[in-house]
Amino acid sequence: MNRYDNRRALVTGGGSGIGQATVLRMLAEGGRVVAADVSESGLADTVTKAGDAADRLHTVVVNIADEASAKAGVADAVEWLGGLDALVNAAGILRSSHTEQTTVEEFEQVIRINLVGTFLVIRESIPALLEGNGAAVVNFSSTSAMFAHPYMAAYAASKGGVQSMTHALAAEYATRGIRFTAVQPGSISSGMTDGSGQSQQSHGPGLPEDADMRLFMKLTPALGQGFAGPETVASVVAMLASDDGKFITGTEVRVDGGTHF
């Protein structure tokens, strides 16, 4: 049984990392999916990896931090899908720096993409979701929203905002048929954590060169060997956005291999 048969989904940040893994997981389960990303090359890579399922995949170049682009991208997605049942907001960036060296522009860039961008995509998607089947939204928070990750003040603030917004939206739309949940990835290997990505979902530099690595010893996963792959989070996202998660709303699920107990 494919959980995404006859299910229509929009995934931002679908050009790499967890966003791409989520697109591929939903396609594998029979869904029709729109992958949105700021990176054309990343989207092309997603299409290639989709293989025979590419006929159920549509891509759209979107800068979620830009209101006009977010509006146009969601409209394109809804038109191609003929409606919308699931939205996954995986797009985001990570920036690490010493706080005293962080400019207002750098801080605002992270907030603009991670928090405001998520809001814009949700706002534009709500009319279609209200008409959807088993409508669900999965947002991306982070373990940084609840635990101390040094050098990431802007990122932590943005993800804390996403998490709080998720709870507020869940309460607002609980009686109108839309569920809102969030995932908290941690210790996941992706372009966002290694700085290799080019999309909004995965573009981020490493730690400051003089970072005190002793502060990161507690961020080692308790399960397995090293960081897990993005498909580890994609499987949880796919559950939350499917009917298997129909009794889950207004909460977050941590996926970090026991990094934080």
What is the mean pLDDT, run by run of 10 residues, along the chain of 261 residues?
94 97 98 98 98 98 98 98 98 95 97 98 98 98 93 96 98 98 90 49 61 74 82 98 98 93 84
Note the pLDDT of residue 218.
Answer: 66
- Sort strands 32-37 and 57-61 into parallel, antiparallel or unpaired: parallel
Which are the catalytic amino acids?
A: 155
Note the pLDDT of residue 192.
Answer: 52
Note the pLDDT of residue 189.
Answer: 80
Note the pLDDT of residue 113.
Answer: 98
H/E run at residue 60: strand 57-61
CA distance 139 to 184: 9
Domain 8-255 is classified in which CATH homologous superfamily?
Answer: NAD(P)-binding Rossmann-like Domain (3.40.50.720)
**Total residue count of the chain as it appears in this document:** 261
The contacts found for 173-178 with CB under 8 angstroms, 24 or more apart, are 173/126, 174/249, 174/250, 176/130, 177/130, 177/132, 177/135, 178/126, 178/129, 178/130, 178/132, 178/135, 178/136, 178/137
Strand order in the sheet with 86-89: 57-61, 32-37, 8-12, 86-89, 136-140, 179-185, 251-255
Note the pLDDT of residue 196.
Answer: 46
3-state secondary structure of 134: coil
How is the chain split into domains, by residue range? 8-255
> To 10 degrees, the CA torsion angle through 91, 168, 142, 35?
-20
Note the pLDDT of residue 197.
Answer: 44
CA distance 42 to 36: 10
For CA atoms 126, 130, 131, 134, the dihedral sign is positive
